[in-house]
Amino acid sequence: MLPLNDLVDVALRAAERAANYIRAARPPAASRWTEKARHDFVTEVDREAEEIIGETLLRLVPGSEVVGEELSPGAARSGEVVWIVDPLDGTTNFLHGYPQYAVSIGALVRGQLALGVIHDVARDIAYRAATGLGAWSGETRLAVSQVSDPSRALVGTGFPFKQFEGFEHYLRQFSAVTRAASGIRRAGSAALDLADVATGRFDAFWETTLAPWDVAAGVVLVREAGGLVTTFEGSNDVLEHGSIVAGNPVLHEWLRQLLERS
């Protein structure tokens, strides 16, 4: 198996190829969008980007496996190297020309979440992290914010736009955070939200339901930047279709407890 830093380089290469393709692609007309579920769109751009990523990863790391949102969401995650891929996180933003969407590639190595790459397509910025190697963008090492006062915190979130059964609960959470923090932002790409936590632009982030490909890469970024990422209940196992809370250590715990009480 390749060393961890070499696997990061492979993920960077795959993400850059897909980002270049997405950047050059013209968003299709609304009549050609496919609705996988309520308010959850997919297009040929998503599918082609995932094909590009999968081809690159499997060619450069033979024997590895790819779990991707569009082509193989139910694939097993038992191989020595398992890539967890969202080829276009923020599809709705892309379709409307709103410049907040990304390619996200995480990887399980021998069963442990070990690396993540997020490529901000519109801004052409790549973020990378690996266990024990830190989180980086170019030559800049990333670090979570040092804000410890919730009243000065900028908090990211994601609305539960697919499943509305728990929407009233989310609104109670939103109200509680709004009253306690200095501001809330919802930009529509969980991968970039987690990158914003890792860079210190967000002090914390929460969302009620996210898939593994939404968070795998970003979780590594935040943790390697000195932050914490857990479920609402405090579990470190966030690679399920479930809740997530991220932030610097102080505000992560503040936000987790606030959400638990709301």
Task: For domain 4-141, give its CATH number from 3.30.540.10, 3.40.50.300, 3.40.640.10, 2.40.50.180.
Answer: 3.30.540.10
∠118-76-18 over CA atoms, to 5°?
30
Answer yes or no: is pLDDT of 26 > 90: no
Q: Are strands 154-158 and 204-210 parallel, antiparallel or unpaired?
A: parallel
> Rounded to two decimals, what is the model's pTM?
0.94
Report the sign of the C-alpha dihedral through residues 168, 170, 171, 173, in that order.
positive
For a pLDDT cut of 90, what percent of the chain falls above it? Answer: 82
How large is the angle between the packed helices 190-199 and 212-224, nearest 10 degrees? 0
Residue ranges per domain, the chain?
4-141, 150-261
CA–CA separation, 148 and 135 (whole Å)? 21
Which residue's structure tokens are 């929407």?
167
CB 165 within 8 A of CB 193: no
What CATH number has the domain spanning 150-261? 3.40.190.80
Residue 139 burial (10 A CB sphere; 0-12, 13-18, 19+): exposed
Q: What is the pLDDT of residues 175-207, one digit of tens each?
A: 999 999 999 999 999 999 999 999 999 999 999
pLDDT band at 39 (very low <50, low <70, confident <90, very high): very low
Q: What is the pLDDT of residues 104-128, one digit of tens each?
A: 999 999 999 999 999 999 999 999 9
Residue 174 burial (10 A CB sphere; 0-12, 13-18, 19+): middle
Q: What is the pLDDT of residues 203-240, one digit of tens each?
A: 999 999 999 999 999 999 999 999 999 999 999 999 98
Tell me 31's DSSP state: G
pLDDT band at 36 (very low <50, low <70, confident <90, very high): low
Decide which of 191 and 71 is more confident: 191
pLDDT band at 43 (very low <50, low <70, confident <90, very high): confident
pLDDT band at 28 (very low <50, low <70, confident <90, very high): confident
Looking at residue 71, its pLDDT comes to: 67
